[in-house]
């Protein structure tokens, strides 16, 4: 009897540990600069920010974002440091409102829908995932120094609007180097002449 209980207890414990580990892996939402987070074409203002939360809370159906004019959604996600993005998880309804495609762009602050015409760093065909179980691995070499992530959802499975309940971001975070403060200053001064510089700088400042 005791023998039977042993493995049972161990399994339960390992299960809890695995869940905690998995939750910790999806903790990049804590590293988002929420003051500057943007969601374009959201029906309710501020609802886009609600989908970035703890992995354990992904099943909370009261928190979601729905698109407004058409099925497109665009998230601009600034981080509080440098991120190595390893995986993404997108959870929606098991119906036509679930996004069908996801395009990721790195280090292009303040993207608009016009900017999405450019080539994405990586594009994913999505499956319906009502339980938040499908992880989409990124090409880590392309997402190893991300201070700003844009996520474009251009289409869904046929509904007029798109609905997302949870977006999980998995990866590693490092503190911002002082150099990035310079980049923010360029942004704040909004001088078009600085724009070219702004795009070259991020790729060169991890040379050492």
List, in order, residues 6 or more apart from 41 with CB less than 8 Å away: 67, 68, 69, 70, 72, 73, 74, 113
- Position 194 scores a pLDDT of 47
Residue 99 sits in a domain whose CATH number is: 2.60.120.470
172 three-state secondary structure: strand
Q: Does residue 5 fall inside a structural domain?
A: no
Say how many domains are in the chain: 1
Q: Does residue 23 fall inside a structural domain?
A: no
Q: Does residue 144 fall inside a structural domain?
A: yes
Task: Please give the sequence-ordered ranges of beta strands (E in DSSP) within 27-137, or none if there are none.
Answer: 38-40, 65-66, 73-91, 101-106, 122-125, 135-137
Positions of the chain with pLDDT under 50? 1-12, 180, 182, 186-189, 194-208
Two tokens at 44?
Answer: 């309710």
- Rounded to whole angstroms, the Cα distance separating 33 from 8 reads 42
Two tokens at 20?
Answer: 């905690």
pLDDT tens digits for range 54-81: 999 999 999 999 999 999 999 999 999 9
Q: Does residue 70 fall inside a structural domain?
A: yes
pTM for the full predicted model: 0.77
Q: Does residue 58 fall inside a structural domain?
A: yes
């Amino acid at each position: 009897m005791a023998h039977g209980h042993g493995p049972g207890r161990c399994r339960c414990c390992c299960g809890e540990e695995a869940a905690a580990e998995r939750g910790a892996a999806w903790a990049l939402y804590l590293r988002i600069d929420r003051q500057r987070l943007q969601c374009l074409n959201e029906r309710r203002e501020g609802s886009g920010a609600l989908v970035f939360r703890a992995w354990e809370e992904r099943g909370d159906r009261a928190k979601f974002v729905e698109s407004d004019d058409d099925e497109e959604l665009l998230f601009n996600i600034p981080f509080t440091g440098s991120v190595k993005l390893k995986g993404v998880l997108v959870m929606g309804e098991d119906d036509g409102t679930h996004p069908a495609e996801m395009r990721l762009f790195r280090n292009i602050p303040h993207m608009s829908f016009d900017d999405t015409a450019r080539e994405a760093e990586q594009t994913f065909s999505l499956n319906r995932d009502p339980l938040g179980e499908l992880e989409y691995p990124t090409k880590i070499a392309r997402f190893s120094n991300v201070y700003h992530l844009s996520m474009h959802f251009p289409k869904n499975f046929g509904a007029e609007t798109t609905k997302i309940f949870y977006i999980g971001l998995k990866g590693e975070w490092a503190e911002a180097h002082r150099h990035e403060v310079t980049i923010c200053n360029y942004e704040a001064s909004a001088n078009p002449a600085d724009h070219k510089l702004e795009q070259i700088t991020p790729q060169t400042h991890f040379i050492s």
